[in-house]
């Protein structure tokens, strides 16, 4: 008996290990830099060579969430800081004037990102199921058409969309952005999900139909649970696109529905180059996608279930 | 329980005609076994009755109602698939409960639990109830899939080779159990098998399919003793009926091209000499592989036979069957 796969040698294992670690360091370095800078003071953040060890401070986060004004020494003496964050800004001779817009923008990102992800996955699953199971007239042409919407960069149609949105009153609205991101994501969602649903044998639904369920109930009770892996990975892809999208957000939103990506760079402008605040914003911005991915990891890792259909 | 009537059913898949003008009545409370070689259209027929597929022509009636346009759920039949498709994301118990929790039935929980318990008992899978459906052996999966049909009380049971991957003992137990269900509860069965014993012991009627056509329908003994064609005659009988040139043993009726001899139609110790090529002791029967005028045939003999290969044994046909060149039966007056 012969095996084509041989146990790697010691040296090969070491090589592989070194490569993986090197790759991890290279990819994680910017991330670590961002997270670390978020906890530096402004002077530490621009120190050269970059400081590996520093006294962590929440200044960046305070600056991110607040707007501040400079005050005279007398005013500061008369109104001593009440809280830890007032204390931080007082060191620079400032008082907190109010909250910044970061919270709002972040919330916009959450609404638009998750809203469009939900809609893309919801519509995508229904469409993928129909394409996978039913005789749809012109099925191949339709599928190709859906895919072709992804063949050019979405921003290529920026001007017509800009005009359309203005005409329809969708400019700078949550609904407009949700619809736009859904439209962009839908082709990816349909194709990804169709692949997953094609893999689920029809016999399960047929068994459910015989067991007294309607087509839709069979879909919900039998197909959806087995498509969970596909739905989870599709949702992550959709969220990553919608969450990170910058160009349309700059073009179509300015206030009410502005998302975090176009907002974060504007932080720099507020009172000099406030790198810790920018880094803090970027760090917080990374969190939702990370948390979402970790939450769905169970479904991603849970392989497709084989074995209950006799081939 | 209900009668099933198929009238003029035709089903095509592209160029293939899977079923060709099939008409068939499964009487209320009958146990109809479908026989036919692979690709004959047995599964297709069950799928048309269940409503999973629609015929290109013809009508399906269940309990006197035309169900041609009804959904599978409305037809209220239970089906055991050839590919026993258990729901892989559910446990064995949940698989068995699934039909009982359907919007069609909405049974109270204690009734569901009782029914599932009973069926699990019958199928000897009680100890596996909390297993994932994927963590079962092939035979166990097959039993769960039978169980999913038996928990219900449908108009008819459709079963596609349900006992094929079970061991001999379990198969014998379940044969008796299915027969009991049919007998005691008056259940109607439409049942596909390749197994001789299942067909002979369970069937009240046998239907023989050949390339999508129903060539014979009747009680199993009739199919066995009075087949309409070589094809029908070959479906039953272990070892298979021997088909030889009609005149090998002497004069044959007009038009006969083949003579068909089942083992019991070969009288040993009389007639002409044949050469024993091989003796097979199968336990429950002993087979003789004979060579007669350069033609091979197989028959059975006494378990304690002294015959061995190289011996000569005389044989003579007794009440043989004759078939014409197309394989159709020729009846002698
Ligand atoms: N969905 C389908 N698409 C195309 N052809 C099909 C389809 N289902 C069945 N057929 C064809 O119809 C014919 C009958 O198939 P069927 O499955 O009914 O055979 P069967 O008698 O059940 O055979 P087996 O004993 O192997 O299960 C075969 O020639 C098969 O290839
Ligand atoms: Mg079949």
Residue appearing with tokens 């139909």: A209
pTM of the model: 0.81
Mutation pick from B54, B79, B82, B87 vs chain A, by most beta carbons of A within 10 Å, is B87
Mean pLDDT for B71-94 is: 90
Q: Which of B51, B134, B138 sits opposite A305 (nearest CB)?
A: B134
Return the pLDDT at A259: 92
Q: How far apart are CA B162 and CA B180, in angstroms?
A: 16
Mean pLDDT value across chain B: 91
Query: What are residue A63's DSSP bridge partners?
Result: none
State the fold for domain A103-266: MetI-like fold (1.10.3720)
Task: Give the chain A residue whose CA is nearest to the CA of B86.
Answer: A308
All structural domains of chain B, each given as residue ranges with its CATH number in brackets, are 4-234 (3.40.50.300), 243-330 (2.40.50.140)
Buried b (16+ CB within 10 A) or exposed e, A235-261: bbbbbbbbbebeebbebbbeeebbbbb
ipTM of the complex: 0.84
The ligand 1 atom at the shortest distance from the C-alpha of residue B37 is 25
What contacts 24+ positions apart, CB below 8 Å, involve A230-233?
A230/A192, A230/A193, A230/A195, A230/A196, A230/A197, A231/A121, A231/A125, A231/A193, A231/A196, A231/A299, A232/A296, A232/A299, A232/A300, A233/A192, A233/A296, A233/A299, A233/A300
Contact state of B103 with A207 under an 8 Å Cβ cutoff: no
How many residues are listed for chain A in this entry? 311
Pocket of ligand 1 (CB under 6 A): B 13, 16, 18, 36, 38-44, 82
Return the pLDDT at A5: 64
Dist. CA B88 → ligand 1 center (Å): 25
Instruction: Report the alpha-carbon angle B8-B13-B18, nearest 5.
Output: 50
HEC per residue, chain A: CCCCCCCCCHHHHHHHHHHHHHHHHHHHHHHHHHHHHHCCCHHHHCCCCCCCCCCCCCHHHHHHHEEEEECCHHHHHHCCCCCHHHHHHHCCCEEEEEECCHHHHHHHHHHHHHHHHHHHHHHHHHHHHHHHHCCCCCHHHHHHHHHHCCCCCHHHHHHHHHHHHHHHCCCCCHHHHHHHHHHHHHHHHHHHHHHHHHHCCHHHHHHHHHCCCCHHHHHHHHHHHHCHHHHHHHHHHHHHHHHHCCHHHHHHCCCCCCCHHHHHHHHHHCCCCCHHHHHHHHHHHHHHHHHHHHHHHHHHHCCCCCCCCCC
Return the pLDDT at B113: 93
Enumerate residues 282 to 311 of chain A having a beta carbon within 8 A of any beta carbon in chain B. 305-311
Dist. CA B17 → ligand 1 center (Å): 10
Instruction: Output A277 or B306, whichever has higher pLDDT.
Output: A277
| Model confidence at B22: pLDDT above 50 | yes
Q: Give B45→chain A minimum CA distance, Å.
A: 15
Residue B95 CB: number of other CB atoms within 10 A? 29
Contacts of B112 in chain A (CB under 8 A): none
Question: pLDDT tens across B114-134, in order?
Answer: 999 999 998 889 999 999 988
Q: Give the contacts of B28 (CB within 8 A, at least 6 positions apart).
A: B1, B2, B3, B63, B186, B188
The ligand 1 atom at the shortest distance from the C-alpha of residue B40 is 21
Contact state of A210 with B84 under an 8 Å Cβ cutoff: no
Mean pLDDT for B5-12 is: 95
Return the pLDDT at B115: 93
Return the pLDDT at A304: 42
Give yes or no for B84 touching A (CB within 8 A): yes
Task: Give the chain B residue whose CA is nearest to the CA of A305.
Answer: B88
Q: How far apart are CA A152 and CA A187, in angstroms?
A: 12
Q: What is the pLDDT along chain A (311 residues), one digit of tens a residue?
A: 445 567 788 899 999 999 999 999 999 999 999 999 999 988 888 888 888 888 899 989 998 898 888 888 888 888 888 888 888 888 888 888 889 899 999 999 999 999 999 999 999 999 999 999 999 899 999 999 988 888 888 788 889 999 999 999 999 999 999 999 999 999 999 999 999 999 999 889 999 999 999 999 999 999 999 998 899 999 999 999 999 999 999 999 988 999 999 998 888 765 567 889 999 999 999 999 889 888 888 777 654 443 344 43
Give yes or no for B134 touching A (CB within 8 A): yes
């Amino acid at each position: 008996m012969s095996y084509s796969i041989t146990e790697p040698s010691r040296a090969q294992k070491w090589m592989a290990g070194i490569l993986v670690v090197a790759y991890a360091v290279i990819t994680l370095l910017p991330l670590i830099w961002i997270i670390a800078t978020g906890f530096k003071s402004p002077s530490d953040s621009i120190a050269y060579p970059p400081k590996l060890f520093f006294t962590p401070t929440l200044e960046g986060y305070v600056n991110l969430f607040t707007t501040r004004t400079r005050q005279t020494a007398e005013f500061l003496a008369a109104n001593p800081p009440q809280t830890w964050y007032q204390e931080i800004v007082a060191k620079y001779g400032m008082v907190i004037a109010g909250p910044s817009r970061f919270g709002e923008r972040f919330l916009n990102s959450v609404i638009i990102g998750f809203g469009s992800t939900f809609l893309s996955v919801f519509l995508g699953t229904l469409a993928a199921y129909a394409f996978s199971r039913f005789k749809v007239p012109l099925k191949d042409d339709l599928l190709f058409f859906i895919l072709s919407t992804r063949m050019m960069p979405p921003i290529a149609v920026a001007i017509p969309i800009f005009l359309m949105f203005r005409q329809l009153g969708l400019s700078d609205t949550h609904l407009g952005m949700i619809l736009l991101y859904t439209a962009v994501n839908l082709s990816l969602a349909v194709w990804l999900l169709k692949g997953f649903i094609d893999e689920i044998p029809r016999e399960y639904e047929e068994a459910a139909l015989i067991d007294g369920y309607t087509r839709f109930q069979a879909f919900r009770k039998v197909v959806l649970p087995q498509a969970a892996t596909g739905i989870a990975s599709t949702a992550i892809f959709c969220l990553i696109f919608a969450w990170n999208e910058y160009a349309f957000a700059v073009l179509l939103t300015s206030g009410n529905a502005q998302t975090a990506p176009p907002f974060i760079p504007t932080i720099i402008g507020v009172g000099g180059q406030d790198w810790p605040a920018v880094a803090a914003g970027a760090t917080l911005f990374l969190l939702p996608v990370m948390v979402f991915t970790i939450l769905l990891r169970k479904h991603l890792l849970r392989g497709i279930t084989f074995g209950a259909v006799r081939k | 329980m209900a009668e099933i009537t198929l009238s003029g059913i035709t089903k095509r898949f592209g160029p293939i005609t899977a079923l060709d003008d099939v008409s068939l009545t499964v009487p209320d409370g009958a146990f109809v076994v479908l026989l036919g070689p692979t690709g004959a259209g047995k599964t297709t027929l069950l799928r048309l009755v269940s409503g999973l597929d629609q015929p290109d022509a013809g009508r399906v009636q269940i309990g006197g109602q035309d169900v041609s346009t009804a959904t599978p759920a409305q037809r209220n039949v239970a089906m055991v698939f050839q590919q026993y498709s258990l729901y892989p994301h559910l446990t064995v118990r949940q698989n068995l409960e699934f039909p009982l929790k359907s919007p069609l039935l909405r049974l109270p929980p204690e009734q569901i639990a009782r029914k599932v318990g009973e069926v699990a008992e019958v199928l000897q899978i009680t100890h596996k109830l909390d297993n994932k459906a994927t963590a079962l052996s092939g035979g166990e999966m097959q039993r769960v899939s039978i169980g999913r049909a038996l928990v219900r009380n449908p108009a008819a049971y459709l079963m596609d080779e349900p006992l094929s991957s079970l061991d001999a003992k379990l198969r014998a137990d379940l044969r008796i159990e299915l027969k009991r269900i049919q007998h005691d509860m008056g259940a109607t069965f439409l049942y596909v098998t390749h197994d001789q014993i299942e067909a002979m012991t369970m069937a009240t009627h046998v239907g023989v399919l050949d390339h999508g056509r129903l060539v014979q329908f009747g009680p199993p003994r009739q199919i066995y003793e009075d087949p309409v064609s070589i094809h029908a005659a070959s479906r039953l009988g272990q070892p298979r009926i021997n088909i030889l040139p009609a005149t090998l043993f002497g004069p044959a009726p007009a038009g006969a091209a083949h003579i068909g001899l089942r083992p019991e139609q070969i009288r040993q110790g009389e007639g002409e000499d044949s050469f024993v090529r091989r003796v097979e002791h199968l336990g429950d029967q002993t087979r003789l592989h004979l060579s007669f005028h350069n033609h091979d045939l197989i028959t059975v003999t006494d378990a304690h036979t002294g015959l061995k290969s190289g011996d000569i044994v005389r044989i003579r046909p007794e009440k043989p069957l004759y078939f014409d060149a197309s394989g159709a039966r020729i009846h002698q007056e």
